[in-house]
Structure 1
Amino acid sequence: MLAEHFEQIEAIGLNLFFAAIFLLIGLAIQDVLKKGDVPKFGRAVVWLVLFFGCAGFIAKGVIQFIMESGSGVNG
């Protein structure tokens, strides 16, 4: 059973790894912003950029899933 689903388990593990990396990056950025006494506008810009990075990663995953499943517009 494990060999049959190895590719799916690998994909899930990789996505969880990337989610953990984004979480750790967010915690590191939060720590730097607090210690650096950054103004609210600067904090908003930093979090907006981090959000767009995460949103792009999620969009890439969704698009890749749609393309690989074959249920696209022409599928």
Structure 2
Amino acid sequence: MANQYIQQFETMGLYFGLAGIFFFIGMAINDVLKKGDVPKFGRYIVWLVLFLGCSGFIAKGLIQAFWQGAGVG
């Protein structure tokens, strides 16, 4: 029973850690875009690529969780 709680704690820690990394990456990109005087269109493209990368990672996690919950994987 305790092993299950430890595993859940590790999983949540991993997800929160990765969310923090994505947050800091976003802050760094925002700083570079401001200091580099990038045009608006370029900023939109950069944020779109960042969003698609994050959403793909989140979708992968959700699909994996649903499959494991259904006993597929």
Do they superpose with TM above 0.5?
A: yes
1:4 and 1:50 map into 2 onto residues whose CA distance is: 34
TM-score (norm: length of structure 1): 0.89
Residues 1:13 and 2:13 are matched in the alignment:
yes
Deviation at 1:2, TM superposition (A): 4.7
Deviation digits for residues 9-42 of structure 1 (CA, Å, limit 9, x no counterpart): 1000000000000000000000000000000000
Matches within 5 A, 1:1-75: 2-70=2-70
Identity of matched residues, %: 57
- Please list every run of 5 or more consecutive structure 1 residues that lacks an aligned counterpart in the other structure: none
Q: Cα RMSD (Å) of the superposition?
A: 1.5
TM-score (norm: length of structure 2): 0.91
Runs of 4+ in 1 over 3 A off after TM superposition: 1-4
- Please list every run of 5 or more consecutive structure 2 residues that lacks an aligned counterpart in the other structure: none
Q: What number of residue pairs does the alignment pair up?
A: 72
